[in-house]
């Protein structure tokens, strides 16, 4: 998978990808009037998701070339996400035609700049061509080995920068997908820490990994209670990108849930579907991916990410339902279910990032509740916040990334559900409003910091292929967090 920028001219000899709106079946959208005629004859109309293809002989040329057309829909309804989807659809068509090198036609649309389009095209190509085939003897890679993003004479600077950003974001998202797709026998807390270290070395951010003794010294009792049962011991992973040393008081803190496997513990999950719980570290993968892109792009911000990685298993050493445990913040917690383990690790990680890393804003990302899937399905990430202006920033980031978010209410009355006569908090808020009470449990540990909580249990993994995603891990959160951070620039 390779992406290059290329100043487009009549001599370009490769196969072509034409992204075309419904209103834009004019001449310039096509390499030649003949292609336009053929596409019209094939009834290609530019609707979203529609594709068509043909072979033509360029004027004066002797090599036949293939053209893939992908529809963008109506021009006045055009969005970056429609560009990504069209690229995904176009790529599937190109794959069928066994195209190896594809060049997009230059972008000249009123609604989107050449730069935005180039970024979306690059991202979508990298995301659509991704495969998790490490364990397959017979690999089925996309035939398209390389994509050239064509630009017009005046678009060079903008397109080259956008392509670079698209590449950073696409590759960071694919890194997160790799981490999540790896099975739990491979992606242990130790391995996750090693992967974070490798990403830090590659992209230029600092990584510190604490082992059990150091975690005990910090007093992270809630985190360690969850980690107790597994022979795969916990790792506290701390990642730092201090891109704005002149403003040490501004630190964006990212916390990712890093449960490398969630069996439920003694509150055991049912066997059916348990294998999916290797994905319970998708929040961690999202923050590792976001840190990679932020460092690679040398973004001028201080960003720290923390992952309290561990595994929720069963053994005689494990914690039990009914246990009352402590936490780094000093609050006591009644464990009503050992399967509500994510909020316990997040509580300590959030307290750590505020008190030890000086985070002034906190965003946590977690595959936290099955309830968010009931509420929002697999399309939309559920969000809680204590700060509306922060949510507005996240909305901007959602628009740029195409990731869908929706806010759930955090009315104080819901906090009653996390109360118990026996401890400061209980880790289960009852069956009703499960995503909200889980988020508000974490909120008990954010002090006065502006805070966002992203429940990605529905969006981190997809059972089926999407417009530009293959089935499996989606890498959700990586691009969203990157663009969220950018709103502080
Ligand atoms: N990792 C799960 C959340 C989850 C469940 C994601 C199902 C995807 C599908 C989390 O640790 C969990 O088990 N949550 C419980 C909480 C309950 C015990 C209050 C849940 O959602 O059932
Ligand atoms: Zn659980
Ligand atoms: Zn879990």
**Phi/psi of residue 106, nearest 5 degrees:** -60, 150
Compare 12 and 39 and report the one with higher pLDDT. 39
Residue 108 above 80 pLDDT? no
- What pLDDT is stored for residue 111 in this prediction? 83
User: H/E element holding 165?
Assistant: helix 156-181
- What pLDDT is stored for residue 483 in this prediction? 98
Mutate to test the pocket of ligand 1, among 260, 266, 369 (most ligand atoms within 8 A of CB): 369
Give 287's pLDDT tier (boundaries 50, 70, 90): very high
Mean pLDDT of 463-478: 96
Domain with CATH 3.40.220.10 in the chain: 2-153
**Among 356, 352, 346, CA closest to 452:** 346
> Which two structure tokens, joined as six digits, stand for 16?
């072509």
Mean pLDDT of 188-216: 99
With H, G, I as helix, E, B as strand and everything else as coil, classify residue 276: helix
> Which two structure tokens, joined as six digits, stand for 479?
């691009």
Residue 422 above 80 pLDDT? yes
pLDDT digit string, tens, across residues 233-252: 999 999 999 999 999 999 99
Cα separation, 226 vs 229, whole angstroms: 7
Domain with CATH 3.40.630.10 in the chain: 172-486
pLDDT digit string, tens, across residues 335-376: 999 999 999 999 999 999 999 999 999 999 999 999 999 999
Q: If you measure from the C-alpha of residue 170 to the centroid of ligand 3, how many angstroms do you get, rounded to a whole number? A: 26
- Give the sheet arrangement for strand 333-334, strand by strand: 324-325, 333-334, 425-426
**Among 195, 165, 193, CA closest to 178:** 195
Query: Looking at domain 172-486, what is its CATH homologous superfamily?
Result: Zn peptidases (3.40.630.10)
Atom of ligand 1 nearest to the CA of 427: 19
Q: What is the DSSP string of 298-343?
A: T-SSEEEEEEEEEEE---TTS--TT-EE--TTS--EE-S-TT--HH
Q: What is the CATH number of domain 2-153?
A: 3.40.220.10
Give 25's pLDDT tier (boundaries 50, 70, 90): low
Residue 414 above 80 pLDDT? yes
Q: Which residues have CB under 6 Å of ligand 1?
A: 262, 280, 337, 339-342, 367-371, 428, 434, 457
Residue nearest to atom 16 of ligand 1 (CA): 340
Mutate to test the pocket of ligand 1, among 227, 338, 339 (most ligand atoms within 8 A of CB): 339
**Among 345, 318, 364, 349, CA closest to 222:** 345
- What pLDDT is stored for residue 371 in this prediction? 98
- In this prediction the pTM is 0.98
Cβ-proximal residues to 451 (8 Å cutoff; 6+ apart), any chain: 361, 362, 363, 364, 385, 386, 387, 390, 443
With H, G, I as helix, E, B as strand and everything else as coil, classify residue 367: coil
């Amino acid at each position: 998978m390779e992406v290059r920028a290329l100043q487009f001219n009549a001599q370009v000899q490769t196969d072509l990808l034409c992204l075309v709106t419904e209103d834009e079946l004019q001449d310039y959208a096509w390499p030649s009037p003949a292609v336009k005629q053929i596409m019209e004859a094939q009834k290609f109309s530019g609707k979203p998701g529609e594709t068509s293809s043909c072979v033509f002989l360029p004027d004066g040329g002797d090599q036949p070339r293939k053209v893939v057309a992908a529809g963008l829909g109506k021009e006045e309804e055009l969005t970056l996400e429609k560009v990504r989807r069209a690229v995904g659809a176009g790529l599937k068509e190109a794959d069928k035609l066994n195209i190896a090198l594809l060049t997009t036609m230059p972008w000249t649309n009123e609604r989107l700049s050449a730069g935005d389009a180039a970024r979306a095209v690059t991202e979508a190509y990298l995301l659509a061509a991704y495969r998790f085939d490490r364990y397959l003897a017979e690999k089925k890679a996309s035939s398209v080995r390389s994509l050239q993003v064509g630009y017009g004479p005046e678009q060079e600077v903008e397109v080259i920068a956008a392509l670079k950003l698209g590449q950073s974001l696409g590759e960071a998202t694919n890194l997160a997908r790799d981490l999540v797709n790896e099975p739990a026998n491979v992606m242990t807390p130790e391995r996750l820490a090693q992967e974070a270290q490798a990403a830090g070395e590659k992209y230029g951010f600092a990584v510190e990994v604490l082992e059990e003794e150091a975690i005990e010294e910090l007093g992270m009792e809630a985190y360690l209670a969850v980690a107790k049962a597994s022979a795969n011991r916990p790792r506290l992973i701390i990642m730092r990108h201090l891109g704005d040393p002149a403003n040490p008081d501004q630190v964006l803190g990212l916390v990712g849930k890093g449960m490398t496997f969630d069996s439920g513990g003694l509150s055991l999950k049912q066997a059916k579907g348990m294998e999916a719980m290797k994905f319970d570290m998708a929040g961690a993968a999202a923050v590792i991916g976001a840190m990679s892109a932020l460092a690679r792009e040398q973004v001028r911000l201080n960003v720290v990410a923390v992952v309290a990685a561990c595994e929720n298993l069963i053994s005689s050493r494990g914690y039990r339902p009914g246990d009352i445990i402590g936490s780094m913040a000093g609050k006591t917690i009644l464990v009503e279910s050992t399967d509500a383990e994510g909020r316990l690790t997040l509580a300590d990680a959030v307290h750590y990032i505020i008190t030890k890393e000086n985070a002034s804003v906190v965003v946590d990302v977690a595959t936290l509740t099955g309830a968010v899937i009931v509420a929002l399905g697999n399309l939309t990430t559920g969000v809680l916040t204590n700060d509306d202006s922060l949510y507005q920033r996240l909305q901007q980031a959602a628009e740029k990334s195409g990731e869908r978010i929706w806010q759930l209410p955090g009315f104080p009355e819901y906090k009653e559900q996390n109360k118990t006569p026996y401890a400061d908090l209980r880790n289960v808020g009852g069956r009703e409003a499960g995503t909200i009470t889980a988020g508000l449990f974490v909120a008990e540990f954010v002090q006065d910091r502006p805070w966002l909580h992203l429940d990605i249990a529905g969006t981190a993994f997809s059972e089926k292929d999407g417009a530009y995603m293959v089935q499996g891990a989606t890498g959700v959160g990586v691009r969203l967090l990157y663009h969220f951070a950018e709103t502080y620039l």
